[in-house]
Amino acid sequence: MAEAPTASKVKTNKPASAFEMPKFEMPKFDIPKVEMPAAFREFAERGVAQAKDTYEKMKAAAEEATDVIETTYSTATKGASDYGLKVIEAARANTNAAFDFAGELITAKTLSEVVELSSAHARKQFEALTQQGKELGALAQKVATDAAEPIKSGMSKAFNKVA
C-alpha cells in the first residue's frame, strides 16, 4: 500500500509536546469610568498631606539626632585627646623627676644623704602625683560633662517639640 504524500513538517526550537496549550488572549472589556466621590478624594488628599508632614517631621528629627551625635563625638574626641596629652605631660614630668633623683643619688657621698634625698624625692613625688590625679580627675569630669551636654540639650529640644 502506498502512503499518501504529507505536508512537510516545520522545524521549531520548541520540543514537541503532546499537549500544547492553545494561545489565549484576555477578552477586552470596557471599564466604566467611575467618578470618585468628593469626600473620598478629600480624605485621600488629607492622608497624603498628613503622611508628607509626618515624613518631614521625622526627617528633621533624624537630622537633629545626627547633628547631636556628630557634636557629641567631636567633643568626646577632643576631650580624649586633651586627657591623653595631660597623661603624657604627667608621665614626662614623673620621668624627668626620676632621672633627676637618680642623678642626685649618684652624687650622694653618705648614707644619710641618700636617705635624705630619698625622703625629699618621695615627698615631692607624692605631692606631684596627688596634684596630677586631681588635674586628671577634673579633666575627666569636664570631658564627660562636655560630651554629655549635646545629648542633654538635644533631648530637651526633642521633648519640648513633642510637648
Q: Where are the domains of the chain?
A: 51-151
- Per-residue pLDDT, 61: 80
- For the chain, give percent helix, strand, coil, nearest 5: 75, 0, 25
Alpha-carbon gap, residue 14 to 22, rounded angstroms: 15
Regarding pTM above 0.85, the answer is no
Kindly report, residue by residue over 100-153, the tens digit of the pLDDT.
999 999 998 999 999 999 999 999 999 999 999 999 999 999 999 998 888 888
Q: Which residue has the cell 488628599?
A: 45
Q: Which residue has the cell 512537510?
A: 8
Q: Is the pLDDT of residue 162 over 80?
A: no
Count of helices and strands (H, E) across the chain: 2, 0
